[in-house]
Amino acid sequence: MSFNHLKNAYNSAQRKYIEVTVGPNDGDFVGADHMVIQAAVEYVGACGGGKVVLKPGMYSMGNAVYMKTGVVLAGSGGETVLRRIPSVSSPLKTDIDWYDWQVELEDASGFRVGGGLMLTSLEETAKTPQATVHTIIGIDGNVLYLDSQPRMNHWLGLEAKASSISSIIRADYSENWSIHNLVLDGNREHNEYLNGNYGGAIFMQDCQNVSIKNVQIRDFNGDGMSWQVCHDVSVEDCCLSNCAMLGLHPGSGSQRPVIRRNTVDKCDTGIFWCWGVKNGLAEENAISNCRIGISTGHRDTDNLMHHNRIIDTVETAILFRPERSPDRTSHRTVIEDSHIENASVGIHLSRGLEDVILRRNTICSKDGRMSVGILKEPGVVGLVLDGNSFDGVEEGV
């Protein structure tokens, strides 16, 4: 063995990662809001990684906790609750340009230093919604000072508005971190809607090697979990309920997500494969009482979904979304050994799909709503149907 190999083995054996505690009344960091949790995460991240243990308690979240590379954030199960405080909003009083560091509002009451801030408006030409995410670092009257430039314009006349909404946990451009054993309460009734492309109870942007286990997410006015251009994200044994939009949202360009043994109930869509999500696995998930159970579409290819249970879907249990051209559809998708019960349609295959395999799935209707078990539009190529069974359905395929 070379000297370098010996040195690396020694360093690996000797290294001890730091562990700190956060608690409302005692701990290495004492407090019960997002700022004290963030302080602990920053400290552990600056030490090269380690563990932040959240003691039992109710933590008031006026901003997201931003995860750092190498940090484990662990709670005490159901006794550790991170709850969003009520949000406020105000129209902008003056334009904010892409390079500005401050924004003037009609009314800044209710906004807090250290709190989260989302600026929204319509893009000038296309009139499509746009948003930027910030932290408030100072307040002077109705002027808020920002930690970052928006890098886009928010102009009056284009519905420009500031809101104190934020994710509960967020990460940007980081890796090798995890979240375990806690509850995230979105306080949905008292918070504005948060677009899942910009936030969620848990939101990630350009991260990799992430593990989320045994996390309960409830009552979030947006997506439960959303990750955009993130690779090797594992979500296991989590419970998501009553989220206004998507339960689990593996987002655009994300590669190799693993979604395993999760429960999603009373969300708009249980699992939403966004654009270009490839080589993913969804297995042993239980989805119930959603508008759509699982949705897949634009260039989501080579994904495996098996042993999932989808019950009491308002519309389609598994939807292959229609695309503008055949080459943009969900090719080479495998759905097998899953149970679908009560929906308007069991599985909807849109035009242009290629080489989809549906194998050994049970599709049944106990409430009499399902007219078709598998609905195949014209132009589906290379479809394999193998051993699927139907019960109480007017027409199987």
Full-model pTM: 0.94
Look at 67 and 16; give whichever has higher pLDDT.
Answer: 67
Alpha carbon separation from 254 to 65, 229, 258, 274, 299 (Å, rounded): 22, 4, 11, 9, 11
Model confidence at 126, pLDDT cuts 50, 70, 90, reads confident
Model confidence at 53, pLDDT cuts 50, 70, 90, reads very high
Kindly write down the DSSP assignment for every residue of 236-256, as one continuous string: ES-EEES-SSEEEEE-TT-BS
For 9, phi then psi, to 5°, come to -65, -40
Determine contact, residues 17/43, Cβ cutoff 8 Å.
no
How much is the pLDDT for 326?
81
Mean pLDDT taken over the chain: 95
Least confident of 12-21, 122-131, 203-212: 12-21
Residues in the chain: 397
Average pLDDT over residues 287-305: 97
Model confidence at 2, pLDDT cuts 50, 70, 90, reads low
Assess whether pLDDT exceeds 50 at residue 149. Answer: yes
Q: Is 137 left (phi over 0), alpha (psi -120 to 50) or beta?
A: alpha
Closest alpha carbon to 367 in 339, 344, 335: 344
Assess whether pLDDT exceeds 50 at residue 287. Answer: yes
Assess whether pLDDT exceeds 80 at residue 292. Answer: yes
Model confidence at 10, pLDDT cuts 50, 70, 90, reads very low
Q: Residue holding tokens 């989302």?
A: 118
How much is the pLDDT for 6?
44
